[in-house]
Amino acid sequence: MRITLVSGSNRANAASTNLLKYMQGLLEPQNITVTLIDLAQLPLPLFTPDNWDFHPNAKHMLDTFAESDGIVLATPEYHGSLSGVLKNALDYVNPTLIAGKPVLSVSSAGGPLGVSSLTHLQTIVRNLHGINCSEWISVGFGTQAFDADGVLADEEVRTRVSDVLESFVQLTRTLGTTNLAAFK
C-alpha cells in the first residue's frame, strides 16, 4: 500500500508538517510505503491554465498521486480556510489522479480547532472525485502541540491521531480491493 502525505504549510518547523511526520512514523512500521511531499521543500509555481507543461516539482507531485492508494492532505488554518500553498498545489490536480481514492484531511490551527479549512478541503476532494475519510484531525495551538522531538505532547491527541489513521488505513485497504476505474 502506498500513501502520500502532503504538507500545505511553507513555514519552517510547521505544525502541519510535524503532524505528517508523526503519522509517517505510525504508518511505516505497518509495511506501508509513505511519501511525504512537503510543499516548503518542493515549492510549486503559481498554477496557470495557460501552461500545461508543468514544472518538475509539480510533475513529481502528480506522479506520486498517480501511484498512491491513499492521500493525506495537511493544511494550516488560514483565515478560516486552507493555505494558498495547498490550494495552488491542488489546482494542478486532474480528477483522474484522485478519483475513487480515500483522502484524509488534517489541519493545524492557532486556536483550539481549525474546522473551516477541513470542510473546504473536503469540498475540493469531493470535486476531484476523491473519497473523503469519514474522520478528520485538527490539531490546535500550532507548534505548542509538539514537543522538542516533534512528538505530539498531549496523549489524547496522540490517541485521536492513531485512531483516525487506523480508520483511514482500513478504508484505503477496502477501497484498494475495488475497481477504481469505476470512479473515473
Site for ligand FMN (CB under 6 A): which residue of 108, 132, 138, 172?
A: 108
**Which residue matches cell numbers 500513501?**
3
Give the nearer residue to ligand FMN in terms of CB position, either 22 or 78.
Answer: 78
Q: Does 105 contact ligand FMN by CB under 6 A?
A: no
Site for ligand FMN (CB under 6 A): which residue of 79, 148, 149, 182?
A: 79
**Which residue matches cell numbers 500545461?**
52
Q: Does 39 contact ligand FMN by CB under 6 A?
A: no
Length of the chain: 184
Q: Supply the DSSP string of 72-130, one letter for each residue.
A: EEEEE-BTTB--HHHHHHHHT--GGGTTT-EEEEEEE-SSS---HHHHHHHHHHHHTT-
Q: Does 87 contact ligand FMN by CB under 6 A?
A: no
Site for ligand FMN (CB under 6 A): which residue of 4, 16, 64, 68?
A: 16
Q: Does 25 contact ligand FMN by CB under 6 A?
A: no
Q: Does 14 contact ligand FMN by CB under 6 A?
A: yes
**Which residue matches cell numbers 511553507?**
10
